[in-house]
């Protein structure tokens, strides 16, 4: 069976998309080749690394990437995880199906707690 290629796209590739990539690899790494990127790069949020580590998912090898760095990858699915990424979502090679699944911004939620 051919692996699905999935891109999780957010604004800065710092938290939501990084966590989604980590969960996809952790839960379905045998069936999904997961990537994450942003329409900008803000560096990976250390709290995302810590939270995922507490859940048993190691995302320390991941790093913040701009979506243009993945221009040569042909994705089956692109999942936008915030409204900004959905509005700024570029056109991808091939027949990528774009799915918008917004999630609250964890750093903002923490500040408001």
Residue 82 is among the residues annotated as catalytic for this protein: yes
Residue 15 is among the residues annotated as catalytic for this protein: no
Catalytic residue among 32, 57, 89, 98: 89
Catalytic residue among 6, 9, 37, 82: 82
Angle between helices 46-54 and 16-28 (to 10 degrees): 30
**Sheet bearing 32-38, strands edge to edge:** 32-38, 4-10, 77-80, 97-100
Catalytic residue among 10, 34, 48, 67: 10
Residue 89 is among the residues annotated as catalytic for this protein: yes
- CA–CA gap between residue 21 and residue 19 (Å, rounded): 5
- What's the maximum distance between 2 C-alpha atoms anywhere in the chain? 44
Residues classed as catalytic: 10, 82, 89
């Amino acid at each position: 069976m051919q692996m699905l290629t999935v891109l999780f796209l957010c604004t800065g590739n710092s938290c939501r998309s990084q966590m989604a990539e980590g969960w996809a690899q952790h839960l379905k790494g045998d069936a999904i080749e997961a990537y994450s990127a942003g329409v900008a790069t803000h560096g990976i949020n250390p709290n995302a690394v810590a939270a995922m580590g507490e859940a048993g998912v190691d995302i320390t090898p991941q790093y913040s990437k701009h979506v243009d760095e993945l221009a040569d990858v042909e994705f089956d699915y692109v999942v936008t995880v915030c409204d900004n990424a959905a509005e700024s979502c570029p056109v991808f090679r091939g027949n990528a199906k774009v799915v918008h699944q917004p999630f609250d911004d964890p750093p903002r939620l923490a500040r408001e707690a």
